[in-house]
Structure 1
């Protein structure tokens, strides 16, 4: 009887222990281990070469996921270091797209890097190096792709290639995106002599991989070939991971009965998980995937890399993955000492409170010392300088400070100071002239202090915030995984906002009989507007206004650099549109649609009833409509603001719609155009006035502007 009681007690203990082990934690909990990388990265490929882990990924949250080609590396799978790889550009142009990279070790011991790029057709290109991090050399000096667009079938988009080395040494590739429109994934064998071309390629019928989208990934379990892939849409919560299995690398494949195996969880703390790879460590499997950020950036392209346990029920069945914020247990013991800043008290010059029609969220100072890559401290606006102070609670020895800024591949200029009393400050590290990006930024010294003060002075890109995922403080030095350092940038620090009214066009200030072929801009940048097409100065309901029929005003001054990249702005206008059902109806534009031709590199304010009726960003996944379209043929005050985080449209002083965004505004060749876009899309209605500022006005300020500029009847 005693033995039975002991047996059942043991079973209960084990069962309770398993429940406890599976229990997740809040997404903003201190010490959460998902995401594993501090930054915006997607499409992760996880590899282990020797004793070092590497994650090759798409750099996200800018220019339609077209950031620098970077790799993350770690020896303990906890402390990750970012490196910007040296990859030669194409002969015809520089590389912007570095999408969904993968890496293969050849029979010659060299490393072969492959990634997708759509600048010269949507192709897969290949590079080779003696090390996993480069420097890289082209496989083809003539830029011949390894997998070309239209292969193996005409019109097929060759992106998202992943390679699989079989037990017989053969290497197979699997690729394809938007495959539900393109007839299924593709498979082929990599020519191991050249490592630069595919042979025996074919398409996998759609029925063998139901509900696909992109991101095929092949692995082998026993004698079974497991073809995993991502389904639904990468832009929203429907994104998921699925699988099929076969006895051959070419199929035919049988869909898994329990698909999808990884999806958005119930509380949506893991939102839109997908585009993964798999790490096998001893007999355990881990799925490394990306998920969307929280608060979620519009279009779902501010993604972060996570890891969770993946369990095979048998060689052809994967159990459903439980996505977590907790992540996984330590794979190996870390030699990095205790972070003495963890959980300590913080204060800051300011912090950002995101208030929109979707979210109410605070980027608190304490999020900088919580060792959680899902949270960050972000200043209240994108003005600098901004500071963050960490109180260690007592005077301690400080040998190393590691700072993870929001964007790993752009530099921040900053200084670190220390103090024993919080009043008298001495220099710990002066990076006020820094032009080298990195994550973490590592600063060593040997001091005793209670307080550490980080002051962000400037950023490489316009409109980036003083923002920190984590700042970590150590009392002793320790070895770093690899002796890598990024090259310094030649780009000077970003131009800051002038906090001025840039453009002021007001019909009421013109005489009734004025010629309007040219009009002086009364805003701070000056210049002259030149009319093109059909615009007249008329009265509508007794209000003097420009009547746009098929014309525009174009300013002869360059778009100010304070509006570049993620620069803040406000557009205010009094308008009356007789027909809101028309396409286009652009009130103002100031970006070049063709410079990057990427989704969030273009901005324009519109007034129509369509999906981009308020703001145009080239791609429907990023455009913003009016929730309630302003009534046609009536005067309205329409305002668009962007503060570097949230885009808001106001109608008659009230917020109508908003979305979290990060822009990559292309202004280099652009013109400020009133009443049209750079390709036409003309406004057809009345405009009494329009103003453009290079900062985001508060709602209180907007109400004042609305009152001051309200057109009067004559």
Structure 2
């Protein structure tokens, strides 16, 4: 498909001006204030730094990784990884500082609560009860309180209370609550706060105290849609009883502030702010692409809370900006290789608005180009990709005339995730062009919340500037692919080899060898932490690397003995001792990028290969190599209304001799086509299960049943599945089924009729085998006829 070329010149009349109402796509709008999909936010201020702990969203079911956002000014935020939790689900984290000086992290999985302990608000964390999965609050620890969404409250006397709950709407149910023991490892008192006190309590309790009144705030209705909203009740004791007061925050009349809820409160002096999540614009199908917003909370003189009208403007900075120069790219003209549709325009990449996104049409090498309108000094470029918790590979080029281009930053082999991605240089340029060349996960297009260009070195974002292990030696240079600065150490003298020493990939410098790295931002006055692992006396030892630092670079020189190194780290901020100790025993991790080498047709089978009456135990695959082999009974080839077909009678089950390639993993685009004849559709019948995993959203399953939610296509996703209300009418007729998924929108056609079109995200895991006639869980037998079946690992639009 030919790519569209889009050019837009932003003018004073092209978009809403700042003097007018701030809408969801107004340039410079302050809500959402985080660039990405995050939910269930807890806001805290420790020292001079603001922290947001949140569920990582946009991945289908609130899967990790563990992370936090931090900011000095509440406007420019940096995503930082944490070591724990290391679980599949990391929902609704909350962090507090205890009176003993330690920090405590509470988070949940369905349906247990866990507690971690650390010496810094960033970790490293460990489960306070020992094993990583040791449970603090099991499900129904308090009768009729389903354990989820734990949140702490510290009273004036230092007593710590924990609140939790979800689905508290049932009769006799509500919110679990308890006063914790001084060591925060248990409870001295617990209580069910029933939904007769906190009306329509569903989940997400948050308790605060003001002027002697305890405010119990919570979310009601479904987090997936517009009904989600925040309510509150009050009491004179932290455990109640509570008296219901009303609604604080709900969906706006125009629907652009959609499903607000699961909040926390920030107090700044006498001002209070509510930090909450709400759905993205345009709204995703499942409602799990949530974003974090903030608005002011007002208390009336009588102690009641004034209902809030959520805004797109937010509150702006709460401190002096960490930036020292203006964003030169703001509202400048842009061109792009493509754009998905009018909801994802190229101009949205330069509007400094975290609620708008430029999304390219395809998943290949897509580019965006900014015209600064005059030649400027360019020293720093910040890029905020759609998913900050996954890495992107890209190259940034600059030009003074739009014809001759120079590489500003080469991140084509980057494996560091982050937001913002920060690149430094020193050039004169009018045009800036970013091209995405690869991703950590299939189906993650090179979409951007923002790209920002500065004329000075903007170094305040706290990040890992250098991260190199032995795996980063490519034979000629030591590449900084795991560090924000990119670039590489150059070999200036001697020789180097790569060697595995005591479980670690390392580089070994021969005596007298010299490695040098240069960067304009590596200054002797720069606050930093630099460490490296050195192999001595047959063991690895983490050492301070300051002796290697020079003004403007790093120089590593081997003396009279070989020098073996790995895990070189340089942070542009000062680590606490606990963080250094963690790095001293934890190596850098490299995750391979997604497989972008499409195979095309993966599965192709047809009854036309056989004669009517054949007994078939093996069906050749005309896609990638392999066959489908019967696991029970062979299939008989019959002719049905002019087409040859394999007959399935509920006992025919075939399994592929081959796995499907990694190009189909994660959220990868795919296309599926089949001809099916079913004499009578049961509730669920599985024609083909293309996946061997079992968890939510990990399925691509072609089914042919009357189940209204998932009778035609099943991802184990509920919202992502496809049923068909007229499925019964398909009985006794040939069905031409065609499914196309471009990485965002999945469309299902039956007999040339579009029966479903919706944006989804799937999480396909490595596929060991494909199953015909039954699903991988040995359920939903198919009783009908299959003429042909095809599967591609690419998006092929439907054509009649």
Kept in 1, the 8 Å contact 2:92–2:107? The answer is yes
Kept in 1, the 8 Å contact 2:672–2:790? The answer is yes
Q: Does 1:624 align with 2:727?
A: no
Kept in 2, the 8 Å contact 1:33–1:327? The answer is yes
Residues 434-453 of structure 1 show CA distances to partners (whole Å, capped at 9, x for unaligned) of 11111000111111110111
Deviation at 1:528, TM superposition (A): 3.5
**Which residue of 1 is the match for residue 248 of structure 2?**
261
1:585 is aligned, of 675, 682, 685, to: 685
Distance 2:590 2:399 in 1: 34
Q: Does 1:65 align with 2:57?
A: no
Deviation at 1:315, TM superposition (A): 5.4
Distance 1:314 1:507 in 2: 78
**Which residue of 2 is the match for residue 608 of structure 1?**
705
Aligned CA distance change for structure 1 residues 255 and 316 (closer, same or farther; 3 Å): farther
Aligned CA distance change for structure 1 residues 666 and 410 (closer, same or farther; 3 Å): same
Residues 575-628 of structure 1 show CA distances to partners (whole Å, capped at 9, x for unaligned) of 122223x2211222222343xx2x322221222222112221224233222254
User: Residue 584 of structure 1 aligns to a residue in which SS?
Assistant: coil
Distance 2:797 2:403 in 1: 33
Structure 2 counterparts to residues 168-567 of structure 1, below 5 A: 168-181=157-170, 183-192=173-182, 194-256=183-245, 259-314=246-301, 316-336=303-323, 337-353=325-341, 361-383=342-364, 385-480=365-460, 482=462, 488=482, 489-498=589-598, 500-533=600-633, 535-550=635-650, 551-567=652-668
**Which residue of 1 is the match for residue 96 of structure 2?**
104
Kept in 2, the 8 Å contact 1:228–1:242? The answer is yes
Distance 2:371 2:328 in 1: 10
1:570 is aligned, of 671, 680, 685, to: 671
Q: Does 1:683 align with 2:750?
A: no
Kept in 1, the 8 Å contact 2:612–2:639? The answer is no
Q: Does 1:661 align with 2:767?
A: no
2:34 is aligned, of 25, 34, 37, to: 37
Aligned CA distance change for structure 1 residues 616 and 115 (closer, same or farther; 3 Å): same
- Which 10-residue stretch deviates more, 174-183 or 208-217? 174-183
Distance 1:382 1:156 in 2: 44
Residues 268-314 of structure 1 show CA distances to partners (whole Å, capped at 9, x for unaligned) of 10111111111111111111111112222222111111111111124
Per the normalisation by structure 1, the TM-score is 0.89
**Which residue of 2 is the match for residue 76 of structure 1?**
73
Kept in 2, the 8 Å contact 1:75–1:481? The answer is no
Distance 2:714 2:316 in 1: 44
Deviation at 1:23, TM superposition (A): 7.4
Structure 1 gap segments, 5+ residues each: 1-19, 90-94, 354-360, 704-714
Residues 85-104 of structure 1 show CA distances to partners (whole Å, capped at 9, x for unaligned) of 11264xxxxx1211100011
Distance 1:82 1:603 in 2: 32
Structure 2 gap segments, 5+ residues each: 1-16, 468-481, 483-588
Distance 1:463 1:479 in 2: 31
Residues 519-562 of structure 1 show CA distances to partners (whole Å, capped at 9, x for unaligned) of 11111343334353474322222321122211332211012211
- Which 10-residue stretch deviates more, 481-490 or 330-339? 481-490
Q: Does 1:48 align with 2:28?
A: no
Kept in 1, the 8 Å contact 2:704–2:711? The answer is yes
User: Residue 622 of structure 2 aligns to a residue in which SS?
Assistant: coil
Kept in 1, the 8 Å contact 2:285–2:720? The answer is yes
Deviation at 1:173, TM superposition (A): 0.7
User: Residue 204 of structure 1 aligns to a residue in which SS?
Assistant: strand
Q: Does 1:638 align with 2:737?
A: yes
Deviation at 1:673, TM superposition (A): 1.7
The CA RMSD measured in Å over matched residues stands at 2.0
Deviation at 1:24, TM superposition (A): 4.2
Distance 2:176 2:240 in 1: 11
Per the normalisation by structure 2, the TM-score is 0.79
Distance 1:24 1:311 in 2: 21
Aligned CA distance change for structure 1 residues 435 and 687 (closer, same or farther; 3 Å): same
Aligned CA distance change for structure 1 residues 398 and 126 (closer, same or farther; 3 Å): same
Q: Which has the higher contact order (CA 8 A, sep 6+)?
A: 1
**Which residue of 2 is the match for residue 13 of structure 1?**
none
User: Residue 428 of structure 2 aligns to a residue in which SS?
Assistant: strand
Aligned CA distance change for structure 1 residues 604 and 315 (closer, same or farther; 3 Å): farther
Kept in 1, the 8 Å contact 2:684–2:706? The answer is no
Residues 450-477 of structure 1 show CA distances to partners (whole Å, capped at 9, x for unaligned) of 0111111100112211111100000112
Number of aligned pairs? Answer: 657
Aligned CA distance change for structure 1 residues 21 and 437 (closer, same or farther; 3 Å): closer
Deviation at 1:150, TM superposition (A): 2.7
Deviation at 1:569, TM superposition (A): 0.9
Aligned CA distance change for structure 1 residues 620 and 486 (closer, same or farther; 3 Å): farther
